[in-house]
Amino acid sequence: MKKLLSAAAILALSAGLASAEVKVGMITTLSGGGAGLGIDVRDGFMLALKQSGRDDIEVLIEDDQQKPDIAVQLADKMIQSEKVEVMTGIIWSNLAMAVVPGAVAQGVFYLSPNAGPSQLAGPGCNQNYFNVAWQNDNLHEGAGAWANQTGYKNSFILAPNYPAGKDALTGYKRTYQGELAGEIYTELGQTDYAAEIAQIRASDADSVFLFLPGGMGISFLKQYADSGVGKPVIGPGFSFDQDILGAVGDAALGAVNTSQWSKDIDNPTNAAFVESFQAEYDRLPSLYASQGFDTANLLISALDKAQPSDADAFRAALKAAEFDSTRGEFKFGPNNHPVQTIYAREVVKEGDVLTNKIIGTAIEDHADAYAAECKM
């Protein structure tokens, strides 16, 4: 039996040297209101594959419609009938929680290009689960640290009333040292913020921290600018990135936001990424696109050393993370989540395009708060 196995391994290895097909399953959101994020992750990922020139990686892309049940069905199909060895693509934490634990339990490798729920960073961590983006709290912790550096003493904070919203406010409060002028949980999917803006106006806050992803952020920023309240705004990069800035317009100018990536991070990989993304898709990349790009490059760097069928070697190759990241240096912490620098960026206008520019470093070499709870 043992002989047979090693013979099979040798066969697999030699096939690998020729042109073994590695099957990668990408489940991401390509329709509905959240599609912009999934499309950016997919485009960033595929761009990296194209640039690598490899034809031995087969990517199956499916649309989860932002629905956990559909994501689970797709994952089952990919693992059971398509026999994928590596999975990636999920945008939303609730979908990741529905898919990832089951997938890694069946021996599949999962590389997260976006969602980083605390459960998967802490007690629920797994040796086959790698997060290439961030743990969910990271950018909020960066925002809190930046608020301290700026000298904000009295923040008004708001986020939608759902798990990621609560994580956001918790993350901000974990690093922020000032007082809170107010703390509001808005309804998920809320589009009118008149009531909240009136409360901000009536408060004695010196700054507003918000985590309102997607359309919620667009609505809030437009209404906030029109209200004339004018207190400085700070938030995670999600509410201020390339995917929504065009829709917010000048109302976003001057807003400070935190991100692990920015298009002006000064390294050759990033410059080439921004330029080639623009050339390929005719738009500026978002942080989601950079995460998709980094995820694909991590995968390629690991495949250069080992095949997923040789799980231990492949896992070690992923963990080593020897690839050129758009963020510069990239390394994983003990729970397979990145230890990275979070930058503060400001929304500016370049020509007539709104974009972000780095104004400082919020936290350097930041690891997430749950790593200690992870026993691998």
Partner 1 sequence: MSTILIIEQILNGLQFGIMLFLMAAGLTLIFGVMGLINLAHGSLYMIGAFAAAAVAGATGSFLLALAAAMAAAALIGAIVEMTVIRRLYATDHLDQVLATFALILIFSEGTRWIFGSLPLYLNIPSWLAGPVTLPGGIQYPLYRLTLIAVGLLVWLGLWWLIERTRLGIQIRAGENDREMIAALGINISKLYTLVFALGAALAGLAGALVGTIQSVQVGMGEPVLILAFVVIVIGGIGSIKGAFVGALLVGLTSTLGGVFLPELFKLFTDPATAQSAGASLASMSIYILMSLVLIWRPTGLFGARA
Give the residues lining the site for partner 1 (CB under 8 A): 31-33, 35-36, 39, 161, 166, 183-187, 189, 191-192, 194-195, 198-199, 201-202, 214-216, 218-219, 222-223, 226-228, 243-244, 246-251
Least CB distance from residue 223 to partner 1, whole Å?
5
**Residue closer to partner 1 (CB basis): 250 or 304:** 250
Least CB distance from residue 191 to partner 1, whole Å?
4
**Residue closer to partner 1 (CB basis): 284 or 299:** 284
User: Do 126 and 132 form a contact (C-beta atoms < 8 A)?
Assistant: no
Least CB distance from residue 252 to partner 1, whole Å?
11
Scan for tokens 């520019």, then name that residue: 357
**Residue closer to partner 1 (CB basis): 244 or 302:** 244
Spatial CB neighbours of 231, under 8 Å, sequence gap ≥ 6: 156, 200, 205, 206, 207, 208
**Residue closer to partner 1 (CB basis): 150 or 223:** 223
Least CB distance from residue 289 to partner 1, whole Å?
12
Least CB distance from residue 287 to partner 1, whole Å?
14
Spatial CB neighbours of 210, under 8 Å, sequence gap ≥ 6: 157, 158, 159, 217, 220, 233, 234, 235, 239
Scan for tokens 């990296």, then name that residue: 48
**Chain-centre distance for alpha carbon 328:** 16
**Residue closer to partner 1 (CB basis): 251 or 369:** 251
Q: Tokens representing 292?
A: 């998709």
Q: Per-residue DSSP letters for 339-376?
A: -EEEEEEEEEEETTEEEEEEEEEEEEEE--TTGGG---
Least CB distance from residue 31 to partner 1, whole Å?
6
**Residue closer to partner 1 (CB basis): 66 or 126:** 66
User: Do 132 and 343 form a contact (C-beta atoms < 8 A)?
Assistant: no
Helix (H, G, I), strand (E, B) or coil at 158: strand
